[in-house]
C-alpha cells in the first residue's frame, strides 16, 4: 500500500486549467514489515551486557580469523574499547593474544559445529605480559543468523 503526494498549480493570470501531478509515491508505514535480521539486531541493542556479531574473514573452509560486523551499544572490551572502536576490525588485530588464549578456537569451533558453547578462557589483562596479569573470561559463541553472536 502506498500514498501519493499530489500537487495542483496554475500560473498567476493564466486562463489554462490547473496543472496536476504526483510528486512522490510513499510507502505506507504499515506495509513495511521488519525483517528477522532487523528485529534480532534491535534486541541485541537492548541487551544489558556486551554482545557482538562476527563472521569469518575467509568464506572457505579454512576459517582462522573473524571480522567484527556489529557490537551493541554497551560493548566495552577489557582494553576499554567501545563498540565503534571494535566494528570493522579483525579479532586477531583487536586481540593479538586471541590464538593463544583460545578466543579464535572457540569461535572457529562454534562456526564449524553450528552450535554454541561457553568457554572459560584466561586472557591477558590490558598492558599485562603473560600469565601473571590475566583475567578469566567466560566467552559464549553461538550461531546467529549467518554469523556468530559472541558475548562475555
Separation CA 131–CA 125 (nearest Å)? 9
Kindly report whether the global pTM for this prediction surpasses the value 0.75: no
CA–CA distance, 41 with 52 (Å, rounded to integer): 10
Q: Would you kindly state where each structural domain of the chain is located, as residue ranges? A: 1-32, 35-151
Per-residue pLDDT of the chain (152 residues; tens, 9 = 90+): 445 444 455 555 555 555 555 555 555 555 568 898 999 999 999 999 999 999 999 877 678 899 999 999 999 988 899 999 999 999 999 988 878 788 888 898 899 888 887 888 777 766 655 445 677 878 899 999 999 999 98
Place of cell 572459560: 120
**Rg, Å, the chain Cα set:** 25
On whether the 35-151 domain is CATH 3.30.450.20, my answer is yes
Burial zone of 71 (CB within 10 Å; 0-12 exposed, 13-18 middle, 19+ buried):
buried
Block residue for cell numbers 557490537: 71
Amino acid at each position: 500500500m502506498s500514498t501519493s503526494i499530489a500537487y495542483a498549480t496554475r500560473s498567476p493570470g493564466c486562463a489554462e486549467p490547473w496543472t496536476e501531478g504526483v510528486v512522490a509515491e510513499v510507502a505506507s508505514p504499515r506495509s513495511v514489515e521488519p525483517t528477522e535480521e532487523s528485529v534480532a539486531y534491535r534486541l541485541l541493542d537492548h541487551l544489558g551486557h556486551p554482545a557482538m556479531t562476527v563472521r569469518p574473514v575467509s568464506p572457505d573452509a579454512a576459517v582462522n580469523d573473524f571480522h567484527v560486523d556489529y557490537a551493541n551499544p554497551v560493548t566495552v572490551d577489557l582494553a576499554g574499547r567501545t563498540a565503534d572502536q571494535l566494528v570493522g576490525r579483525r579479532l586477531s588485530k583487536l586481540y593479538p593474544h586471541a590464538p593463544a588464549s583460545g578466543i579464535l578456537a572457540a569461535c572457529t569451533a562454534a562456526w564449524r559445529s553450528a552450535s554454541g558453547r561457553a568457554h572459560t578462557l584466561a586472557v591477558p589483562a590490558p598492558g599485562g605480559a603473560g600469565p601473571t596479569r590475566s583475567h578469566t573470561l567466560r566467552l559464549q559463541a553461538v550461531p546467529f543468523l549467518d554469523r556468530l553472536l559472541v558475548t562475555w
